[in-house]
């Protein structure tokens, strides 16, 4: 690990500064402006170091509030001159600064130029105007600088560069350079989102998290777990800055620390309009348009954390109550307002409202914020919310890896259901928990059968059939699943929930079947609902994952990549299953493109972050490692995947065999690899997954098998009309409608 | 280990073709906020004074900011091609 922080993401700024400080005509230098902690001083230091390497004499002066009271206070240490005559003083200081620079020149760095005393400012001004030295001066945006300094750029003598915080990509690069290794993309995004690219806050945060071991390496990847604590350095830094503020501006910061983002009008009502404006001018508060509102938030999230940590519990509870009441008084019409209001109420001096909390738990589920959904739903249940919050809690637990707890909760909930609709609502997440969470697909089927025998409501029945189609697809009964799902979707009584479940079943089965006709439109409908938050984000991503698998099996990599990017964008701020599902999609697309290192990185990221998802999400990891020639790693990953095998994911068994084949190939056991690929093809054929069979046969060809061309040609020329459910593959009759795209492309291999 | 395969079709396109425009727009999106906004506003034809006002910065600061923004954009597009 690097002992110091490297300078990355500033190559373009350094290049510009280098040009501005090496001019041959006119004054040379640059004013670097920016927010506190953005990296102005470091950049100025680097510019001086570069000049020094060219033989230029460098001088460095730091202006401070305390030295401001002294004439030439900033330069006192550098030039060591004192005297009563200001004009003489400036000349003496100038001579001292320029001493020894006759040949290659002098470059003077001035840090925090807004704090310069008047005489120091005149000295800098004269150095520039006389072209006696190159000047690199930093100053904080929003602060008033002496006139002589302001004139430097106002009169066009020096360029003023507004230094920006690092982008998300630049932040990730900097952290990886510091840690000397790849960082989990979710961790990198969180680091950026908590620091907004402010280099100083980033350094404080990373060093603190390293020290506490919450930032640690797993499988070669830097992974960040738990909630970051506030390092003493950061608390000191932020406290010093906030401590200097007048009370009214501090109130603005406090209210935003607990309630951001807030509409500017509401914030002004809760605090003081002039103070809000002043806080914005100081760069402490940012204001952005959001629809018809102007929303205010703290410029740096970490400032809010420090304030929250420092405020007394009772004061904080009262403040949250005030903000929640003010939000409610505005009507709180947006869906996000409900969630924010509920969160404020939960930790305030106001009484819990089960209706508000249930609505908020529903919203958190839609957003894929599962831990939050569990927390709010639990509070709603405690406040007497009844059936719905318990269902929301069970559902969120199922998705977030708490399958055992969810199963207990949902089994109990089933006994409380008062209608067919409620019975079915309770059994759907329970089937997920049993089959995919607890690897008990037989029990999941039994529960489904049991509920099915008691439900007579027709709409509820379509929903039950919808979940059954997903289970069938996952158990490798592709034809049965596709048939069942199609039946639900053709049923006029099909509810929205049934449509979502059946689309999932269809997407999960049709990928292996190589039948994607009409599926894109159905997936788009679900995506549009997820976009409008009518469908849960995770459910849409899971359906999308099946869709992407189908596209990849069909060889439609561009389309798969477009879909993957769409889901990734949506889920990137949702740590947990959404992140894992989309990372798996990214890995699969990279693998299909032959980007084996990229694919392995994505899959490793999933490995580091998953709970009980390893088998379904990581079947391809051993294969990718095998393709990359990493035999021992492939074998190790294979052992883990095999141990984690879940019988509820039987449809992935052919792909697991292929992964074993790649691991064997990496070890040089090509005959074994070929046999495994052929075995995978046979298994895929028996599961009626011709697209997966084509992939397996193609892999066999890659291993040197010359005997599969006939079967590939047969698949290429065969129609893909599947047999009716219950008919064996041996009796399958070739249809005439369409061909399997992948087989057509690979048949000539 | 197999070498990484470079995604096809990332260079050789005229600047005004849809694929280039899409890549440029995507690269602009990855820039720090102020750079991204400055380039988008300039592409939309806004006058410099107005761009500076939107960015809440002094007019004198706009040219260096745009230079850095362009350089960062070129670096992103270059890294995609490399």
- Does residue A38 carry a pLDDT above 70? yes
Q: If pLDDT is split at 50, 70 and 90, which confidence band does A399 have?
A: confident
Residue of chain A minimizing CA distance to B73: A12
State residue A699 phi and psi, 5-degree precision. Answer: -65, -40
- Select the residue of B4, B7, B63 nearest A597 (Cβ to Cβ): B4
In total, the C-beta contacts within 8 angstroms joining chain A to chain B are 69
Residue of chain A minimizing CA distance to B70: A12
| B50 CA: distance to closest CA in chain A (Å) | 17
pLDDT in tens, A312-355: 899 999 999 999 999 888 876 666 788 889 999 999 999 999 99
Assess B34–A contact: CB distance below 8 Å, yes or no: yes
Q: If pLDDT is split at 50, 70 and 90, which confidence band does A441 have?
A: very high
* ω into A493 cis (within 30 of 0): no
- Does residue A227 carry a pLDDT above 80? no
Residue with tokens 């999308």: A544
What is residue A727's predicted lDDT score, i.e. its pLDDT?
A: 36
- Select the residue of A162, A166, A167 nearest B61 (Cβ to Cβ): A162
| A431 CA: distance to closest CA in chain B (Å) | 41
Q: If pLDDT is split at 50, 70 and 90, which confidence band does A395 have?
A: very high
Chain A residues with CB under 8 Å of B53 CB are none
pLDDT in tens, A47-69: 999 999 999 999 999 998 877 88
Chain B residues with CB under 8 Å of A156 CB are 60
Q: Can you spell out the DSSP letters for A489-557?
A: HH-TT--HHHHHHHHHHHHHHHHHHT--TTHHHHHHHHHHHHHTTSS-HHHHHHHHHHHHHHHHHTT-H
Q: Is A262 helix (H, G, I), strand (E, B) or coil?
A: strand
Q: Length of chain B, please?
A: 82
Assess B46–A contact: CB distance below 8 Å, yes or no: no
Chain A residues with CB under 8 Å of B5 CB are 593-595
Assess A155–B contact: CB distance below 8 Å, yes or no: no
Sequence-ordered list of residues with C-beta below 8 angstroms from that of A599, at least 6 positions apart, any chain: A587, A588, A590, A591, A620, A624
Assess A634–B contact: CB distance below 8 Å, yes or no: no
Neighbours of A378 (CB within 10 A): 19
Asked if B65 and A11 come within 8 Å (Cβ–Cβ), the reply is no
Assess B25–A contact: CB distance below 8 Å, yes or no: no
B-facing residues of A in 42-71 (CB < 8 A) are none
| A538 CA: distance to closest CA in chain B (Å) | 25
DSSP character at residue A10: -
Q: Is the dihedral of CA A97, A102, A104, A105 positive or negative?
A: positive
Residue of chain B minimizing CA distance to A625: B1
Assess A162–B contact: CB distance below 8 Å, yes or no: yes
Q: Residue B5 in contact with residue A590, Cβ under 8 Å?
A: no
Which strand (E) or helix (H) includes residue A140? strand A134-140
Helix axes A86-98, A118-129, angle to 10 degrees: 50
Neighbours of A156 (CB within 10 A): 11
What is residue A128's predicted lDDT score, i.e. its pLDDT?
A: 94
Task: Select the residue from A9, A10, A11, A12 to test the B interface by mutation, using most B Cβ atoms within 10 A.
Answer: A12
Q: Beta partners for A290?
A: A293
Look at B18 and A162; give whichever has higher pLDDT.
Answer: A162
Assess A563–B contact: CB distance below 8 Å, yes or no: no
- The pair of structure tokens assigned to B64 is 């260096």
| A247 CA: distance to closest CA in chain B (Å) | 25
Which of A278, A286, A296, A299 shows the shortest CA–CA distance to A143?
A: A278
| Torsion from C-alpha of B4, B7, B8, B14, nearest 10 degrees | -130
| CA–CA dist A623, A681 (Å, integer) | 16
- The pair of structure tokens assigned to A510 is 């049709």
| CA–CA dist A539, A493 (Å, integer) | 22
DSSP character at residue A705: -
Which strand (E) or helix (H) includes residue A652? none
CA distances in angstroms from A212 to A61, A215, A605, listed in the order given: 36, 7, 21
- Does residue A363 carry a pLDDT above 90? no
Which strand (E) or helix (H) includes residue A173? helix A168-179
Q: Residue A583 in contact with residue A572, Cβ under 8 Å?
A: no
A188-197, A299-308, A520-529, B49-58: range with lowest mean pLDDT: A299-308
Sequence-ordered list of residues with C-beta below 8 angstroms from that of A11, at least 6 positions apart, any chain: B75
| A344 CA: distance to closest CA in chain B (Å) | 30
Asked if B30 and A169 come within 8 Å (Cβ–Cβ), the reply is yes
Q: Residue A721 in contact with residue A735, Cβ under 8 Å?
A: yes
Q: If pLDDT is split at 50, 70 and 90, which confidence band does A84 have?
A: low
Q: Kindly calculate the radius of gyration of chain B based on its CA atoms and give it in whole angstroms.
A: 15
Average pLDDT, chain A: 86
**Separation of first and last alpha carbons in chain A:** 47
What is residue A221's predicted lDDT score, i.e. its pLDDT?
A: 83
Q: Residue A625 in contact with residue A600, Cβ under 8 Å?
A: yes
- Does residue A731 carry a pLDDT above 50? no
What is residue A720's predicted lDDT score, i.e. its pLDDT?
A: 46
Task: Select the residue from A151, A167, A199, A561 to test the B interface by mutation, using most B Cβ atoms within 10 A.
Answer: A167
A632: burial class by Cβ within 10 Å (0-12, 13-18, 19+)?
exposed
Task: Select the residue from B67, B70, B73 to test the A interface by mutation, using most A Cβ atoms within 10 A.
Answer: B67
pLDDT in tens, A480-497: 999 999 999 999 999 999
Chain B residues with CB under 8 Å of A170 CB are 32
What is residue A670's predicted lDDT score, i.e. its pLDDT?
A: 92
Asked if B1 and A156 come within 8 Å (Cβ–Cβ), the reply is no
Asked if A12 and B33 come within 8 Å (Cβ–Cβ), the reply is no
Q: Is the dihedral of CA A238, A243, A247, A249 positive or negative?
A: negative
- The pair of structure tokens assigned to B66 is 């745009």
What is residue A633's predicted lDDT score, i.e. its pLDDT?
A: 87
Assess A355–B contact: CB distance below 8 Å, yes or no: no
Residue of chain B minimizing CA distance to A31: B61
- Select the residue of B32, B57, B68 nearest A165 (Cβ to Cβ): B32
| CA–CA dist A331, A335 (Å, integer) | 11
A23-37, A463-477, A508-522, A653-667: range with lowest mean pLDDT: A23-37
> Would the pTM count as exceeding 0.90?
no
| CA–CA dist A302, A280 (Å, integer) | 17
Assess A33–B contact: CB distance below 8 Å, yes or no: yes
State the average pLDDT over residues A579-602.
Answer: 88
Chain A residues with CB under 8 Å of B7 CB are 593
| CA–CA dist A138, A41 (Å, integer) | 7
Residue of chain A minimizing CA distance to B56: A281
Neighbours of A415 (CB within 10 A): 8
Q: Is the dihedral of CA A261, A265, A268, A269 positive or negative?
A: negative
Pairing of the two strands A285-290 and A293-298: antiparallel
Assess A569–B contact: CB distance below 8 Å, yes or no: no
Look at A211 and A408; give whichever has higher pLDDT.
Answer: A408
What is residue A714's predicted lDDT score, i.e. its pLDDT?
A: 87
Asked if B61 and A594 come within 8 Å (Cβ–Cβ), the reply is no
Assess B57–A contact: CB distance below 8 Å, yes or no: yes
Q: What's the 3-state SS for A630-677?
A: CHHHHHHHHHHHHHCCCHHHHHHHHHHHHHHHHHHHHCCCHHHHHHHH
Assess A627–B contact: CB distance below 8 Å, yes or no: yes
| Torsion from C-alpha of A616, A622, A628, A629, nearest 10 degrees | -170
Q: If pLDDT is split at 50, 70 and 90, which confidence band does A749 have?
A: very low
Strand stretches in A146-284, DSSP E: 159-162, 215-218, 221-224, 262-263
Sequence-ordered list of residues with C-beta below 8 angstroms from that of A730, at least 6 positions apart, any chain: none
| A6 CA: distance to closest CA in chain B (Å) | 19
Task: Select the residue from B29, B60, B75 to test the A interface by mutation, using most A Cβ atoms within 10 A.
Answer: B60
Neighbours of A290 (CB within 10 A): 11
Helix axes B18-29, B62-81, angle to 10 degrees: 120
Q: Residue A649 in contact with residue A474, Cβ under 8 Å?
A: yes
Q: Residue B64 in contact with residue A8, Cβ under 8 Å?
A: no
Asked if B30 and A627 come within 8 Å (Cβ–Cβ), the reply is no
Look at B42 and A367; give whichever has higher pLDDT.
Answer: B42
Look at A643 and A361; give whichever has higher pLDDT.
Answer: A361
- Does residue A734 carry a pLDDT above 60? no
- The pair of structure tokens assigned to A242 is 């906030």
Which of A415, A36, A432, A388 shows the shortest CA–CA distance to A196?
A: A36
Angle at B60 between CA B58 and CA B66, to 5 degrees: 95
Helix axes A670-686, A653-666, angle to 10 degrees: 170
Residue of chain A minimizing CA distance to B31: A167
Per-residue confidence in pLDDT tens, chain B, 82 aa: 333 333 333 334 445 677 778 888 889 988 998 999 999 999 988 999 989 988 888 888 999 999 999 999 999 988 765 4
Residue of chain A minimizing CA distance to B6: A595
Q: Is A392 helix (H, G, I), strand (E, B) or coil?
A: helix
What is residue A220's predicted lDDT score, i.e. its pLDDT?
A: 76
Q: Is A71 helix (H, G, I), strand (E, B) or coil?
A: coil
Which strand (E) or helix (H) includes residue A282? none
Asked if B64 and A594 come within 8 Å (Cβ–Cβ), the reply is no
What is residue A122's predicted lDDT score, i.e. its pLDDT?
A: 93
Widest pairwise Cα distance in chain B: 53
Assess A154–B contact: CB distance below 8 Å, yes or no: yes
Residue of chain B minimizing CA distance to A192: B32
Assess B18–A contact: CB distance below 8 Å, yes or no: no
DSSP character at residue A436: I
Look at A36 and A532; give whichever has higher pLDDT.
Answer: A36
Assess A10–B contact: CB distance below 8 Å, yes or no: no
- The pair of structure tokens assigned to A164 is 């920006």
A168-182, A351-365, A728-742, B7-21: range with lowest mean pLDDT: A728-742
Q: Residue A432 in contact with residue A394, Cβ under 8 Å?
A: no
Asked if A170 and B63 come within 8 Å (Cβ–Cβ), the reply is no
- Does residue A736 carry a pLDDT above 50? no
């Amino acid at each position: 690990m690097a002992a110091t922080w490297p300078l990355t993401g500033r190559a373009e700024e350094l290049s510009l500064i280098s040009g501005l400080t090496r001019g041959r005509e006119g004054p040379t230098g640059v004013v670097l402006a920016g927010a506190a902690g953005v990296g102005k001083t470091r950049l100025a230091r680097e510019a001086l170091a570069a000049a020094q390497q060219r033989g230029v004499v460098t001088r460095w002066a730091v202006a401070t509030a305390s030295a401001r009271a002294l004439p030439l206070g900033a330069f006192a240490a550098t030039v060591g001159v004192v005297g009563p005559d200001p004009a003489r003083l400036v000349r003496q200081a100038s001579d001292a600064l320029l001493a020894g620079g006759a040949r290659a020149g002098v470059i003077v760095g001035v840090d925090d130029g807004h704090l310069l005393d008047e005489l120091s400012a005149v000295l800098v001004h004269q150095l520039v105007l006389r072209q006696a030295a190159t000047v690199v001066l930093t100053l904080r945006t929003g602060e008033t600088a002496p006139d002589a300094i302001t004139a430097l750029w106002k009169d066009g003598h020096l360029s003023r560069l507004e230094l920006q915080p690092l982008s998300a990509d630049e932040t990730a690069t900097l952290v990886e350079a510091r840690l000397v290794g790849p960082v989990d993309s979710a961790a990198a995004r969180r680091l950026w989102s908590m620091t907004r690219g402010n280099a100083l806050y980033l350094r404080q945060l990373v060093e603190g998290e390293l020290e506490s071991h919450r930032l640690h390496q797993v499988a070669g990847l830097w992974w960040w777990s738990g909630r970051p604590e506030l390092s003493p350095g950061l608390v000191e830094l932020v406290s010093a800055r906030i401590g200097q503020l007048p009370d009214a501006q501090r109130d603005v910061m406090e209210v935003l620390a607990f309630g951001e983002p807030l509409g500017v009008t509401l914030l002004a009502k809760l605090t003081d309009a002039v103070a809000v404006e002043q806080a914005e001018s100081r760069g402490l508060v940012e204001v952005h348009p959001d629809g018809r509102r102007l929303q205010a938030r703290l410029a740096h999230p970490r400032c809010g954390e420090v304030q929250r940590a420092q405020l007394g519990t009772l004061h904080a509870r009262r403040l949250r109550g005030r903000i929640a009441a003010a939000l409610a008084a505005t009507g709180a019409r947006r869906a996000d307002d409900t969630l924010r209001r509920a969160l404020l109420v939960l930790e305030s001096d106001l009484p819990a409202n089960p209706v508000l909390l249930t609505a908020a738990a529903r919203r958190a589920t839609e957003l894929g914020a599962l831990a939050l959904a569990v927390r709010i739903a639990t509070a709603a249940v405690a406040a007497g919310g009844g059936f719905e919050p318990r269902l929301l809690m069970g559902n969120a637990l199922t998705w977030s890896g708490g399958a055992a707890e969810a199963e207990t909760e949902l089994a109990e909930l089933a006994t409380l259901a008062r209608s067919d609709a409620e019975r079915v609502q309770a059994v759907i997440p329970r089937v997920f928990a049993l089959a995919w969470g607890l690897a008990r697909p037989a029990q999941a089927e039994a529960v489904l059968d049991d509920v099915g025998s008691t439900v007579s409501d027709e709409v509820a029945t379509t929903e039950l059939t919808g979940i059954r189609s997903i289970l069938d697809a996952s158990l490798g009964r592709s034809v049965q699943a596709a048939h069942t799902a199609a039946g639900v979707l053709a049923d006029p009584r099909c509810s929205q929930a049934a449509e979502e479940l059946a689309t999932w079943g269809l997407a999960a089965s049709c990928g292996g079947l190589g039948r994607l006709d009409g599926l894109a439109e159905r997936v788009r409908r679900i995506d549009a609902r997820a976009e409008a938050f009518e469908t849960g984000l995770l459910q849409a991503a899971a359906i999308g994952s099946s869709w992407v698998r189908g596209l990849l099996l069909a060889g439609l990599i561009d389309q798969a990549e477009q879909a993957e990017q769409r889901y990734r964008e949506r889920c990137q701020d949702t740590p947990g299953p959404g992140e894992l599902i989309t990372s798996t999609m990214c890995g699969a697309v990279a693998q299909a493109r032959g980007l084996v290192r990229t694919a392995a990185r994505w899959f490793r990221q999933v490995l580091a972050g998953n709970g009980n998802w390893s088998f379904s999400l990581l079947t391809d990891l051993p294969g990718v490692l095998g393709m990359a020639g990493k035999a021992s790693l492939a074998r190790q990953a294979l052992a883990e995947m095999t141990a984690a095998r879940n019988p509820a994911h039987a449809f992935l068994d052919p792909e697991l065999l292929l992964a074993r084949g790649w691991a064997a190939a990496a070890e040089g056991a090509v005959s074994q690899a070929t046999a495994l690929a052929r075995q995978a093809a046979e298994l895929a054929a028996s599961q009626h997954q011709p697209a997966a069979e084509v992939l397996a046969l193609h892999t066999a060809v890659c291993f040197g098998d010359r005997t599969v061309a006939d079967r590939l040609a047969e698949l290429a020329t065969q129609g893909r009309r599947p047999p009716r459910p219950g008919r064996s593959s041996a009796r399958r009759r070739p249809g005439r409608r369409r061909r399997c795209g992948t087989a057509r492309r690979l048949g000539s291999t | 280990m197999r070498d990484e395969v470079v995604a096809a079709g990332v260079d050789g396109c005229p600047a005004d073709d849809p694929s280039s425009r899409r890549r440029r727009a995507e690269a602009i999106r990855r820039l720090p906020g102020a750079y991204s906004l400055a380039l988008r506003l300039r592409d939309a034809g806004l006058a410099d004074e107005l761009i500076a006002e939107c960015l809440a910065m002094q007019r004198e600061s706009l040219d260096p900011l745009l230079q850095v923004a362009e350089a960062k954009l070129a670096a992103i597009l270059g890294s995609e091609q490399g």
